[in-house]
């Protein structure tokens, strides 16, 4: 737990990388470097759908404390939705987390705030923790902090519509400025902290400070072992959502260890 009573969370988003054979090797490499005493940080691997079962097998065989997550979900329970995956399917394959609303899903697959909201409700019904991604593009950031923040808060409010106050305290929000994803350019720790404070304040007003204090907010966007130490001391940033560096077992574990 950090000084605020929240357990830091490190999530590796493998995106569309790793065939099943490669995924097993990477999961094994990460599990080998992840010791049982690393229990002050929660660590989650999010491989592609087709790799979930095999990666879960590695984690179970290893009795690893690493957790499994998916990168997306559909909101219906079952039915004629070709190509879609339900929350129940994710739960049965061992997922306890699921990323929703990643900017790449929004940009390439047309995912809307309303879709994200439906997915969040469906995941909570299935007992899976949603990791809701929000973040502004470069144009909005250049327009000024206030514009960027109000866009982000609209995304947060839309994602949480209809949730009760206690549910809100169990979810995770990941602030990922689009201009920082895969670019090698992070937000400054101060920018990320300011956005996290704004999100927490907005949720405090919406569902009570007690609940808002419990919710974890992650930063994502070009996090690497070389820059993570700047983000760790930020009091409202509770961990990281990591893309590129999560594909390297050593780098991913080093990032996680920064939060121990
Ligand atoms: P990078 O760490 O590669 O910038 O990706 C961040 C991200 O999109 C994680 O979801």
Minimal-distance CA residue to ligand 1 atom 7:
243
- The reply to whether the predicted model has a pTM over 0.95 is yes
Predicted confidence band at 9 (pLDDT cuts at 50, 70, 90)? very high
DSSP conformation class of 208 = -
Q: What whole-number distance in Å separates Cα of residue 46 and Cα of residue 183?
A: 21
pLDDT in tens, 14-31: 999 999 999 999 999 999
Domains in the chain with CATH codes = 9-88+101-248 (3.20.20.70)
pLDDT in tens, 40-79: 999 999 999 999 999 999 999 988 999 999 999 999 999 9
Predicted confidence band at 134 (pLDDT cuts at 50, 70, 90)? very high
pLDDT for the residue 89: 98
What is the position in ligand 1's atom list of the atom closest to the CA of 244?
Answer: 3
Task: Give Cα 103 to chain centroid, integer Å.
Answer: 12
Q: Is 42 a catalytic residue?
A: no
Residues with CB under 6 A from ligand 1: 13, 102, 176, 181-182, 220-223, 241-245
Which residue matches tokens 């000084």? 3
3-state helix, strand, coil in the chain (%, to 5): 50, 15, 35
Judged against a pLDDT cut of 90, whether residue 104 lies above it is answered with: yes
Mean pLDDT of 144-154: 96
Predicted confidence band at 141 (pLDDT cuts at 50, 70, 90)? very high
Mean pLDDT of the chain: 96
Predicted confidence band at 37 (pLDDT cuts at 50, 70, 90)? confident
Residue 223 Cα, ligand 1 centroid: separation in angstroms?
7
Predicted confidence band at 259 (pLDDT cuts at 50, 70, 90)? very high
Q: Is 190 a catalytic residue?
A: no
Minimal-distance CA residue to ligand 1 atom 5:
243
pLDDT for the residue 36: 77
Judged against a pLDDT cut of 90, whether residue 118 lies above it is answered with: yes
CB-based contacts of 239, cutoff 8 Å, min separation 6: 8, 9, 10, 11, 41, 42, 216, 218, 219, 259
pLDDT for the residue 38: 85
Predicted confidence band at 185 (pLDDT cuts at 50, 70, 90)? very high
Q: Are 76 and 42 in contact (CB under 8 A)?
A: no
CA distances to 75, 103, 130, 178 from 106, in Å = 16, 5, 16, 11
Which of the following is catalytic: 34, 102, 111, 136? Answer: 102
């Amino acid at each position: 737990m950090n000084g605020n009573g929240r357990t830091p969370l490190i999530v590796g988003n493998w995106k569309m990388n790793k065939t099943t054979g490669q995924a097993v090797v990477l999961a094994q490499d990460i599990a080998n470097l992840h010791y049982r005493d690393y229990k002050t940080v929660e660590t989650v691997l999010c491989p592609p759908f087709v790799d979930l079962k095999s990666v879960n097998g590695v984690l179970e065989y290893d009795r690893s404390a690493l957790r499994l997550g998916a990168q997306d979900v559909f909101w219906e329970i079952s039915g004629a939705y070709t190509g879609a995956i339900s929350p129940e399917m994710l739960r049965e394959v061992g997922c306890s987390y699921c990323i929703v609303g990643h900017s790449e899903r929004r940009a390439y697959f047309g995912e809307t705030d309303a879709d994200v909201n439906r997915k969040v409700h469906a995941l909570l019904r299935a007992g899976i923790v949603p990791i809701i991604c929000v973040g502004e593009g470069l144009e909005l950031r250049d327009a000024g902090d206030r514009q960027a923040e109000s866009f982000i808060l609209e995304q947060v409010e839309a994602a949480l519509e209809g949730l009760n106050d206690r549910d809100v305290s169990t979810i995770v929000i990941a602030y990922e400025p689009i201009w920082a994803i895969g670019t090698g350019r992070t937000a400054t720790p101060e920018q990320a902290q300011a956005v996290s404070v704004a999100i927490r304040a907005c949720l405090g007003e919406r569902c009570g400070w007690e609940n808002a204090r419990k919710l974890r907010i992650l930063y994502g966007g070009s996090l690497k072992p070389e820059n993570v130490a700047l983000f760790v001391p930020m009091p409202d940033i509770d961990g990281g959502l990591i893309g590129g560096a999560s594909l390297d077992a050593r780098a991913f574990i080093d990032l996680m260890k920064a939060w121990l």
